[in-house]
Structure 1
Amino acid sequence: MSGSGDEEEEVPATHTGPKGVIHDWRKFKLESEDHESMTQKRRELLRQMSNPRPNVDDDPERVNRKMSVQEYEMIKEEDEQSLKKYRKQCMQEMHERLSFGPRFDSVLELESGEAFLEAIENEHHLTLVVVHIYDNSIKGCEALNNCLTCLAAEYCTVKFCRIQASVTGADEKFTDDVLPTVLVYKGGEMLGNFICVTKHLSEEFFATDVENFLNEYGLLPEKEFAACSDKEEEEHGVE
């Protein structure tokens, strides 16, 4: 399910097209250069190239003159380390804009109550976090873990987690009659609280059943691709 306009992350305006890319690169290079090792002339030239608006104190003749061949060659030189850093930053920013947050491909095992809190509170504000609180001695918990493993491969923008009730620090609340429990969060806010979730599923359930259940509440984004075959799904059912 696609997020609403209110949920979309506000992305700073970026320059597009060849001229915009050159402008961004020059600005990045200026900011990342070691100013102590640069000549005054180079610093001033890079400053001018990264700022299309000249300062009022600039000499009009110096501002409007054509760039010399030597200056052009100086700007043209690529600092490989700085260029790599710039490319990496661009890729990360593009990834964040396109995916609206980080990506995952497996279920994260949480080892403590503190890890549980961090998984929710320290996550990207647009990332959906699904937490399964389980005890493998309870019927349905192991099968649900298997189903979530399959869904984690299909929904790469959703952070699927699981934690044993005994390590939550609140195991007295997660008694046998409420397990398996599934909690859903986004931006630190709880969107879903499903206790004894297997009661909402058939006796034998598969990844598609869990998927449909979550979709009934609008708790899953659009699926990117199907990662599980029918045979794999059958293996995720309750024995």
Structure 2
Amino acid sequence: MTTLDDKILGEKLQYYCSSSEDEENGDSDSNSNTPKKNERSLQIETSQLEKWEGTSQNTGPKGVITDWQRFKQLESEKRNECEKERIALAKKLTLSVQSTLDEEREKSKLEDPEISELLNDEFLLQYQKQRMEEMLKQQNHNVKFGELIFLKNSEEYLDAIEKEHKSVKIIIHIYEKHLKACQIMNSCLAELAKVYDNVKFCAIIASVAGLSRDFKISGVPALLIYKNGILIGNFVRLSYEFGDSFYAEDVQGFLIEHGMLEDKTLVPKIVKSINDQSDDSD
């Protein structure tokens, strides 16, 4: 017999599927799938552990220190390797250059013996000496003085300038006998004449040279430098520069500073050897 519940539901109660039964079935299905998911997660974690290389970003203080030490070790090893490569490359290039020069010399010996002779170091040194000797002869013309020359009158003054070889440098001291600075200057020039024997050092009294009264009072001691008949240096009132007490080294430094004398300390060794040989031959 149909009841009120049957009419409301439209079907019999035994054919009715309640939601509670569905929920129970759903729970049972989910419970059955849970073990499978857990098994997959375990497999993933296991594979990740197998790939781990000993370093991790999420470590404690000890792990951070270890990572930093490892990083510095790798950096130093890389730097050492780069340095070794640079040294090896430099050695290789050096050896290649030396071998190339040797090959060129051997090749020149086979092809042209004259060129191989030009490449010889002894030949080049000998050629340099020969050229320096020629240049020194042209410059100095083998003229030697070695002493201070006192000029007696204006004619000797002009002859000392005009009749000398064009390559000779002439330094003339204009002085007065009663002045102490002039006396010291004469003694200094006498010493320098021995050192620079290729330079002509002269001295003349101002009144004998025909100079004015004012120049004799305030212009001496004075040094006039000539070369090839041309005045190239004019230094007056040198007592203001040196005072009443000075030495030959002071005058030498002054003339070197103004380009009137050569600095002996800067003469090349090859020139010194040529000069020594010429002195021995004399």
**TM-score, structure 2 length as denominator?**
0.43
Residue pair 1:101, 1:127 contacting (<8 A) in 2 also: no
Deviation (angstroms), 1:192: 0.8
Q: State the alpha-carbon separation in 1 of the partners of residues 262 and 135 from structure 2.
A: 20
**For the aligned residues, what is the CA RMSD?**
2.2
Residue pair 2:175, 2:203 contacting (<8 A) in 1 also: yes
Match among 113, 120, 137 for residue 154 of structure 2: 113
Structure-2 change in CA distance of 1:126 and 1:209 (3 Å): same
Q: Which has the larger radius of gyration?
A: 2
Q: Deviations over 1:61-101 (max 9, x none)?
A: xxxxxxxxxxxxxxxxxxxxxxxxxxxxxxxx999447445
The answer to whether 1:159 aligns with 2:200 is yes
Return the letter of the residue paired with 2:154. Answer: G
Residue pair 2:220, 2:236 contacting (<8 A) in 1 also: yes
Residue pair 1:184, 1:192 contacting (<8 A) in 2 also: yes
Q: Partner of 2:221 in structure 1?
A: 180
Q: State the alpha-carbon separation in 2 of the partners of residues 209 and 202 from structure 1.
A: 11
Instruction: Give 4+ residue runs of structure 1 displaced > 6 Å after superposition.
Output: none
Q: Deviations over 1:108-151 (max 9, x none)?
A: 11000111011011111111100000112123000000000000
Structure-2 change in CA distance of 1:94 and 1:183 (3 Å): closer
Deviation (angstroms), 1:103: 1.0
Match among 223, 226, 235 for residue 194 of structure 1: 235
Bigger RCO (CA 8 Å, 6+ sep):
1
Structure 2 unmatched runs, 5+: 1-133, 268-282
Q: State the alpha-carbon separation in 1 of the partners of residues 240 and 221 from structure 2.
A: 10
Q: Partner of 1:209 in structure 2?
A: 250
The answer to whether 1:102 aligns with 2:143 is yes
Return the letter of the residue paired with 1:189. Answer: I
Q: Partner of 2:176 in structure 1?
A: 135
Q: State the alpha-carbon separation in 2 of the partners of residues 123 and 214 from structure 1.
A: 21
Match among 163, 186, 191 for residue 150 of structure 1: 191
Structure 1 unmatched runs, 5+: 1-92, 225-239
Structure with greater helix share of residues: 2
Q: State the alpha-carbon separation in 2 of the partners of residues 95 and 213 from structure 1.
A: 24
